[in-house]
Amino acid sequence: MNRIQIRNIGQIGGLSEGEACTPGGNFFTHGGNQGSIWSSTEDAWLLVEGKHIIKWGPMSDEPSLPPHTEVWDANGAWVMPAFVDPHTHLVHSGTREQEWKARLQGASYQEIAAAGGGIMHSVRSLRKAEFSALLDESRIRLESIRSMGVGSLEIKSGYGLDFDSESKMLRTTRTLAHEYPDMNIHSTCLALHAIPPEYCEDANSYVRKVTQEWIPVWAEEGLIDFVDIFCERGYFGLEHLDALLECAHQLGLPVRAHVNQFSVMGAVKRAVEGGALSVDHLEELDDADLEALKNGETYPILLPGCSFFLGIPYASGRKLADAGLRVVVGSDYNPGSAPGFNPFLTLSLSCLKLGLMPEEALNAMTIHAAGSLQLSDRAGSIGRGKEASLLFISGLKDWSTLAYHFGHIPPLRVMLKGRFI
């Protein structure tokens, strides 16, 4: 087993000392959302054994090295947990620059979708793509996001919308997870992303097909960890969300849901009461939605990259944090509404546009994001026995420096499950 003692660490951030988090566990009770979770230790050493963090302490009190221990001098670099991205559509075929240019000239995302573009554009292209080509294309993105310090991520299907094409997407995600065992890659079925043309606007029949026939097969084959739905006018409604919640409940699969991107329709309350693990987007939010979130356990996941790229309102991160909620932030990386996944830009947008303080934004992209993927026991924080998926960063004045230089990737070394990549 490899054993590495890292010496001369400027500061350790994202410590969750002593936590034995249950899945979906609540770090929030240990210090609120205001940054106290983002506690740090200065001038430190840290011991990694195999894939795990064993212990750490101040350099003034460095123990003698156990035999066969490699030493790495961090030379004053600061260390934090690798980012966790809880919402991506990383597997897709081709990009949509033409539509983006149409938007630059005034067309809206919804107008493009109504004219047969948008998600359906990506569906046509994905259906034609060979599995190997889809895998190659997706692997390039995965390599890129991991090099930027994302150690765990969720990937959705939703550009196939027929059994074989959705299966192709889900298998691509599982293959990537197999190829990159030093990451945690979770697979979400988003077959309820849009109504496919074969169902000629008959959403009810399509939802029945997906919930009663397809999802049970994918669950049986071990292809999915979560299920998701796009609740929106022209897409899926509350009765469809109910059908998904019911199917997920029977199969023991946690639900994530795209809600309130463009309209408030009561989906937040329904999802929270139905026990959904996360509600994602929330650019539009009314008081009833906020109340429902306050009374439930569902994680709110905010996606500032989508608002940035589409020019739509930003979610009220400040309001949600002030309500005491465990705010989570993700990239929403996808070819239509957020074709970028740089976590450092997402961090800056979280501060500048969602109203979070830098430490809150860091919590949102590490500890809380891990909770929203049921990974708190191993990822998203630095604690004994947690995975040694760590970022070593030079040149920080304080943790806010990471968000201050927007879109900038600082000098970075990435360790995933105990090995530098």
> Which member of 25, 118, 305, 358 binds ligand NIG (CB under 6 A)?
118
If one asks whether residue 5 binds ligand NIG (CB under 6 A), the answer comes out as no
Inter-CA distances, 29 with 16, 323, 353, 386, Å: 12, 13, 26, 19
Closest to ligand NIG by CB, 289 or 387: 289
Residue 33 interacts with which of Fe ion, ligand NIG, none, CB < 5 to 8 Å by class: none
Residue 230 interacts with which of ligand NIG, Fe ion, none, CB < 5 to 8 Å by class: ligand NIG
Closest to ligand NIG by CB, 74 or 231: 231
If one asks whether residue 232 binds Fe ion (CB under 5 A), the answer comes out as no
**Distance between CA atoms of residues 159 and 198, nearest Å:** 14
What is the b/e burial string over 221-246, where b = at least 16 CB atoms within 10 angstroms of the residue's CB? eebbbbbbbbbbeebbbeebbebbbe
Alpha helix segments (H runs only) across 29-162: 97-104, 109-114, 119-128, 131-147
- In the DSSP assignment, the letter for residue 387 is B
Nearest approach, Cβ of residue 87 and ligand NIG (Å): 7
Residue nearest to Fe ion (CB): 332
Strand partners, 15: 382
If one asks whether residue 230 binds ligand NIG (CB under 6 A), the answer comes out as yes
What is the b/e burial string over 263-293, where b = at least 16 CB atoms within 10 angstroms of the residue's CB? eebbbbbbbbebebbbbbbbbbbeeebbebb
- In the DSSP assignment, the letter for residue 375 is -
Closest to ligand NIG by CB, 16 or 157: 157
Closest to ligand NIG by CB, 85 or 332: 332
Closest to ligand NIG by CB, 96 or 269: 96
**Distance between CA atoms of residues 244 and 87, nearest Å:** 18
Q: Coil, strand or helix: which one is 311?
A: coil
Nearest approach, Cβ of residue 292 and ligand NIG (Å): 20
| Residue 64, token pair as written in the block | 């003698």
Residue 337 interacts with which of Fe ion, ligand NIG, none, CB < 5 to 8 Å by class: ligand NIG
If one asks whether residue 348 binds ligand NIG (CB under 6 A), the answer comes out as no
Closest to Fe ion by CB, 166 or 377: 166
Residue 336 interacts with which of ligand NIG, Fe ion, none, CB < 5 to 8 Å by class: ligand NIG
Q: Which of 358, 383, 357 is nearest to 370 (CA)?
A: 383
Closest to ligand NIG by CB, 14 or 335: 335
Contacts of 271 (CB under 8 A, 6+ apart): 231, 241, 245, 255, 257, 259, 279, 298
Please check whether residue 301 is in contact with residue 279, taking contact to mean a CB–CB distance below 8 angstroms: yes
If one asks whether residue 138 binds ligand NIG (CB under 6 A), the answer comes out as no
**Distance between CA atoms of residues 95 and 360, nearest Å:** 32
Binding-site string for Fe ion from residue 309 to residue 348, where x marks contact by CB under 5 A and - marks none: -----------------------x----------------
How many residues of this chain interact with Fe ion, rule: CB under 5 A? 1
Binding window for ligand NIG (CB under 6 A); candidates: 53-61, 116-124, 204-212, 354-362: 116-124
> Which member of 33, 88, 122, 366 binds ligand NIG (CB under 6 A)?
122
Considering only residues 377 through 416, tell me which ones interact with ligand NIG, judged by CB under 6 A.
none
**Distance between CA atoms of residues 6 and 84, nearest Å:** 23
Considering only residues 237 through 266, tell me which ones interact with ligand NIG, judged by CB under 6 A.
258, 261
Q: Which of 265, 197, 200 is nearest to 229 (CA)?
A: 265
**Distance between CA atoms of residues 111 and 139, nearest Å:** 31
**Distance between CA atoms of residues 77 and 143, nearest Å:** 23
Nearest approach, Cβ of residue 308 and ligand NIG (Å): 12
Residue 122 interacts with which of Fe ion, ligand NIG, none, CB < 5 to 8 Å by class: ligand NIG
If one asks whether residue 149 binds ligand NIG (CB under 6 A), the answer comes out as no
Name residue 246's amino acid.
E
Considering only residues 326 through 345, tell me which ones interact with ligand NIG, judged by CB under 6 A.
332, 334-337
Nearest approach, Cβ of residue 159 and ligand NIG (Å): 7
Binding-site string for ligand NIG from residue 294 to residue 323, where x marks contact by CB under 6 A and - marks none: ------------x-----------------
Alpha helix segments (H runs only) across 252-357: 267-273, 287-294, 304-310, 317-322, 343-352
Contacting residues toward ligand NIG, per CB under 6 A: 118-119, 122, 230, 258, 261, 306, 332, 334-337
Contacting residues toward Fe ion, per CB under 5 A: 332
